Amino acid sequence: MKKPASKSKKTLSASRDNLRFKVFLGSVALHSALGTCDRLRTACGIVNNKRLRGIGYNGSVSGLPHCDQKGHLIVDNHCIRTRHGEVNAISNTDRKDIRDGQAIVIATPCLDCAKDLAEEGIRRIDYVGSYENSLGKQHLAELAKQKGIELHNHNVDWADFFQELFNLLTQKGGVLKNAGYRLKVTKEPLPENKSC
């Protein structure tokens, strides 16, 4: 009797870890909407000891105009006006919480950001999708290997992803359950898929 009980406890804890990752990823994805460079709105969350310790999104240095106010600042086909989400996440998180932590990144970290995360002692980077214009991305795997950082790339179907989160909120006691309705996500393709 005891063995199956402990096994199911293990399964429960694994599914709790899985759920936690999804909720944190969803939170980071929502923060990317605050990004001020519309070539790519990104965000990064720093996780340590099962808690989301800090988040950053890409935007200008505080007090300076953003891309959506002044236009992009392009050098070699890269907009260099913003501080990237990872750098802002580092600024927004206690250093001790970054050490041995995990970074969740929307799109592909550029090499400079990966170097900053590595320097702060990040042990694992989970990033979603791939961004073709990410500067130095071809050196990312090598850096991770050299620094012993686990690198995980995720392909996420955002419709399915948010549907799952909305379903969770429709469970007994959840905000949607209490609101008395469920949300259904549908995909409506955009007329034109613009990429940078």
Quick one: tokens of 193? 């898929």
Site string for Zn ion, 113-152 (x = CB under 5 A): x---------------------------------------
Give the shortest CB-87-to-Zn ion separation in angstroms.
7
- The footprint of Zn ion on residues 30-49 (CB under 5 A) is 37
Tell me if 84 contacts Zn ion by CB under 5 A: yes
Q: Among 4-12, 67-75, 141-149, 165-173, which window interacts with Zn ion (CB under 5 A)?
A: 67-75
Residue count (the chain): 196
- Return d(Cα 78, Cα 111) in angstroms, integer: 13
Tell me if 107 contacts Zn ion by CB under 5 A: no
Give the shortest CB-160-to-Zn ion separation in angstroms.
27
**Smaller CB distance to Zn ion: residue 53 or 81?**
81
Pick from 79, 98, 117, 149 the residue near Zn ion by CB under 5 A: 79
Q: Which residues bind Zn ion (CB under 5 A)?
A: 37, 67, 72, 79, 81, 84, 110, 113
